[in-house]
Amino acid sequence: MDRASAQDFISELWNDSVVPELVEYIRIPNKSPAFDEHWQAHGYMEEVVRRFERWALGAGIRGLQLEVVRLPGRTPLIYMDIPGTGTDTVLLYGHLDKQPEMTGWREDLGPWKPVIDGDRLYGRGGADDGYAMFASLTSIRLLQEQGIPHARCVVIIEACEESGSFDLPYYIDALQARIGSPSLVICLDSGCGNYDQLWVTTSLRGLIGGVLEVEVMREGVHSGAASGIVPGCFRILRQLLERLEACGDGTIVAREFHVEIPANRVAQARIAAAVLGDVARKLPFAQGVRAVTEDGAELVLNATWRPALAITGAGGLPAIADAGNVALPANSVKVSLRLPPGCDGVKASQALKALFERDPPCNARVRFTPDWAASGWNAPAEAPWLTRALDSSSQAYFGKPAIYMGEGGTIPFMAMLGERFPAAQFVITGVLGPHSNAHGPNEFLHIPTAKRLTCCIAEVLAEHHRQARG
């Protein structure tokens, strides 16, 4: 590959075509079904699908065939098939649905307000994960432009990932004969530790969640009459949560949610921590707040291979301005528990329900209602050709070697595909680096990283074809 020409070609294509399309995409509030129960009636998802379809068909990719597949009652899926040489197939994946708005956006920004500020494109969904289709297709366009052969490529863009990809297995089943058996899977929905090199995701945590409810009275009562007699529902919530998490340091004390961390992942965590330096600096700590430990490698392992609890919502608590001296009858919290790779999500969800509901303090009415369960994923060992391709492309386009590290988030699609295609190689990477803040306020796409990543994917596709041809 002529790398200098490749960079120029991709940069021009992104500046002239991709970035303007992403700007328009950000304007559309196509929230995932979990956050918009009326998504069909609102029509935002269909609007994005039509825009993506129109752009892809006009992208100048020879042989591209595109179909918007629609299973009854499910979100749509864009299926693209690009012919190549040889008998191998590469599957490239992304999604187009978005997280909800979230509060706290900078005054001049907003979730549906695209703003280009230097190298950054702000707005919901640009980095997570609207860019993925454009990076996938422009990497193939680059190979065609330089006359470099590649395997057949199947590109799948789903519309349900932020809701746990609950529609995707049905589409994979329906399209199985058309997809075939990929020897390489590429997913562009992950993160990067910095914007200075290619980051390869080696594992993903799983996720279970649900609503934990505690009821102690039929109605609220004056706190002077009830306190000291009626057990506080908030106190009981705390007791139940302490069955799972040690309040002193946040360690998950229930052993059924842990796994043994493989030695090679521990070694990679140490390398990644050394490259990152201050591992925690990417997060927007309030002034004076410190991370849970100063050991960078332990922070990496905490965020990638250890379970962790987050309380993401609460019910039954009046707003402070409305809070009188009333003993509350009931409280509830939304529980989100990250699971290490290798911990079965369904079994973990059942175990969490049993842990919360057994022997309730003061015989309070306790109920845990699970809402979803996704298992984590540990990548198979990289083939030597893939390691070489990742490292050489990172050196070529970033000027530094590739770094391998687990991710704390969940991509349910990966665990499912790992089971479906156990012989495939996997490349999981992305552009969600420091402060890019997927799911939160001020999400942005770092445009130079997306361009360089596109070039790297093109080189991986080229090397995959060379290896397949022998």
Q: DSSP labels for 363-428? A: G-EEEEEEEEEE--EEPPPPPHHHHHHHHHHHHHHTSS--EEEEESS--HHHHHHHHH-TT-EEEE
Q: What is the pLDDT of residue 180?
A: 96
Does 470 have pLDDT greater than 80?
no
- Please report the domains of the chain, with CATH numbers, ordered by start residue: 3-204+376-469 (3.40.630.10), 206-258+307-374 (3.30.70.360)
283's CB contacts (< 8 A; 6+ apart) are none
Does 420 have pLDDT greater than 90?
no
Give residue 137's pLDDT band: very low, low, confident or very high (50, 70, 90): very high
3-state secondary structure of 297: helix
Does 434 have pLDDT greater than 80?
yes
Angstrom CA distances, 21 to 14, 16, 51, 140, 262, stand at 9, 9, 8, 18, 42
Angstrom CA distances, 222 to 176, 226, 229, 323, 374, stand at 61, 6, 12, 12, 43
Question: How do residues 246-276 score in pLDDT, each as one tens digit?
Answer: 999 999 999 999 999 999 999 999 999 999 9
As a whole number of angstroms, the distance between CA 116 and CA 431 comes to: 16
DSSP one-letter code for 15: I
Q: What is the pLDDT of residue 469?
A: 83
Tokens describing residue 371? 């809402």
> Would residue 371 be called left, alpha or beta, if left means φ above 0 and alpha means ψ between -120 and 50 degrees?
alpha
3-state secondary structure of 206: strand
Does 411 have pLDDT greater than 90?
no
Query: What is the value of pTM for the model shown?
Result: 0.89
Cβ 354 vs Cβ 232: under 8 Å: no
Cβ 169 vs Cβ 187: under 8 Å: no
Q: What is the pLDDT of residue 283?
A: 86
> Would residue 97 be called left, alpha or beta, if left means φ above 0 and alpha means ψ between -120 and 50 degrees?
beta
Q: Which helix (H) or strand (E) holds 67?
A: strand 65-69
Give residue 387's pLDDT band: very low, low, confident or very high (50, 70, 90): very high
Give residue 282's pLDDT band: very low, low, confident or very high (50, 70, 90): confident
As a whole number of angstroms, the distance between CA 443 and CA 106 comes to: 10
Complete DSSP assignment for 217-272: -SS-EEHHHHBTTBPPHHHHHHHHHHHHB-TTT--B--GGG--PPPHHHHHHHHHH
